[in-house]
Structure 1
Amino acid sequence: MRAFPRALFGRRARRRWIHLILGGALAMPYVFVGQLVVGPAVDARYVFQDLFLQLASFAVGLPLAAVTALFPLTRPLESGAVRWLCGVAPDLLAYGPARSRAAKGRTAAWFTLHLGLGGIISGMSLALPPFAVFLILLPALARFHADAVDLPASLDHTWVYALAPAVGVASLLALAACAAGCGALLARWAPALLGPAPEDRLAAAERRAADLAVRNRLARELHDSVGHALSAVTLQASAARRVLDSDPEFVREALAAIEDTTRRTVGELDAVLGVLRDGDTPGTAPAPTLDADLGGLLRRTRAGGLRVRCELGVDPAALPPLLSREAYRIVQEGLSNALRHGGPGDGADHGVALRVARAGDRLEITVENPLTGSAPCRPGGGHGLRGIADRARLLGGTSEAGPAGGMWRLRVRLPMKDPA
């Protein structure tokens, strides 16, 4: 029982009614233009005194509305109105200008339909309520003012006064039903006429993929630079604290390494955040390379008490820039894992072996550290191995990590040439 009144007078029905009335208001200028055409054509001075001429003017104005619907702002404005007033899901509508011929045709069809149904419902909304109120009040008016109502002789009967209120209420219900029906019809057709075309969906998917790629790249850069810096600084400070009284020279080296690490990390962080601020492509953010900073990376890692043996079988300066940059991040994350899971004590006893060499047409990076280390220095670990795998995959390479002979081994193979 409640569904019927809600369908006619509920919040959604009222908002759709407003949407139709807005369509009728938009139709009025076109009706006036149609009046200028119809009036001289039939030699009528006052077109709005004749219902037939009004409808003719309305019919002449609708094609003009279809033409003006080709303006770029029509679809965004109509989609916004449909979203808020008709209750259509946002992802079913397109909010950009119509580009293709088919999209423009659908937009023109929608605009014409909106103005056509809106003009009809607006006219009914102006005419029916006063007439219905008059019919509802007719018995009372006839009772107290018998001379005020001049009915034709054929209608001057008591049953007319009894039936008039029912007809008035029925007129209002019919108006509400027509408005609800037209509003539901527009809401049903809106996705087909205002929805995104296949090319719009493809463009949106490409934008989402590009945004996701940027976010993933930034996440990897932040994890590798900031995560490594925090791990290194934590262990450097821990090592310095343990030998504060016995080895002042080591403490000075550790503090210098902490200063250098934090300074470099702040610079890298500012560069990565600049991508977010300026909207640059991911590759434009400057990053260290093997050629520029491998020695500094090893020095800062060793300052935390971790003994690192490095074997270089390739000239870092001969590597392509992109490969050198990604290889640096992979080495950085491999050493960071050794810092977190090995710790300075194990590193001093067993050492960490780093090997960067050429294997055929590929660059091979191997990092080995003992499995007998202490617990990670930060609970829960991180996403370093996943980030390494992502970097290798994007370059067309492979990565593998796991225990091997009492050691934890990370091995990454990357093509020696930049991907096209």
Structure 2
Amino acid sequence: MDFSFDERTEELRATLLDFMKTQVEPAEAVFSDQLGSSGDRWAWDAVPVMAQLREEARRRGLWNLFLPGDAGAGLTNLQYAPLAEISGRSHLAPAAMNCAAPDTGNMEVLHQFGSEDHQKEWLQPLLDGRIRSAFAMTEPDVASSDATNIQLSIVRDGDSYVLNGRKWWITGAMNPNCRVFIVMGKTDPSAERHRQQSMILVPRDAPGLEVVRAMHVLGYDDHDHGGHAELSFTDVRVPVSNLIGEEGAGFAIAQARLGPGRIHHCMRSIGVAERAIELMCARAASRVAFGRPIADQGVVRDWIAESRVRIEQLRLLVLKTAWLMDTVGNRGAHTEIQAIKIATPATVQWILDKAIQVHGAGGLSQDFPLAAAYAGIRTLRFADGPDEVHKNALAKAELRRQEAAR
């Protein structure tokens, strides 16, 4: 079994590591200052230092690495995994490389299912980094962990569809450069359960579409990547040609979108955990309590050792999943995708918790990235399906497998 990376991956890793060290990490404080003093706290892509990072990423060939085929960098999931992990060390890097959610998932949807007109009008500007987008599925009035529950209506009226309903936790929607929403709603409530839903493109300036408010995550508004919003759709009318695929294909498209999205989150989260361990070790070595360095405390050493073991286990599982997605497809890797979605947020959350504890009160403050990272990782236990849904499905599959083996 060969655990080494191929030549192209090693070259990109070296380029990306240098980009992170010389460009991204020094820009973190600058970005925060510039965004805070700008006229619009949500417009992260208009911040001068972000524009510089994006230009530098393009120059170094670190652009659209997530997207396979000619439209992107042509990398496999296995090649992209270590790169996404490195980018996860900083909240600036994915955006700087045009590899940030939800744009990545939306670009994949438009690349795979969009019409030629959709790709020309929306996909190409997204690939170029000229606009942002959002994915509107979750709703406040239903349990959206079951995507078939969604109630926003999409009704055909002549050459148009008319949309009515509410959405919330729509990531990136507060950014004024978010120009289009991929909206999931019901076109036929009487159809078979998984054929009731459709997806449609809704421009931000469509009459009747209102960005109601920004949502906070454990006290953070996440303005540095476009925030999360509640949306209201009141008789929003869009052309029939804005439908993605066919009526009733929304659920299947959502599942196709979520597979790569889930593994990308997991890849980046490992980078979050690696940075947390670095900070934890540095803090433990530099602080003295009760006459000796914190690093000499047995409990702290236990946390550090356990963190390293858990990260190594997690990385191997994510790499195995990426390899399976490349070799047998997303459907064949379904069990492993569920496993990493269950394991990654919980594992990284545990590591962040210990890193915060080692930092003392400082770990809760804005002086370190740990508290914000903790809030972000905690959301992943809901995003793309909550833990309980994945555990239930994984257990059912395991029970079937064991039954078949008897």
TM-score of the two chains, using structure 1 as the length reference:
0.23
Q: Which of structures 1 and 2 has the larger relative contact order (alpha carbons within 8 angstroms, sep 6+)?
A: 2
**Which structure carries more strand by proportion?**
2
Larger Rg: 1
**Which structure carries more helix by proportion?**
1
TM-score of the two chains, using structure 2 as the length reference:
0.24
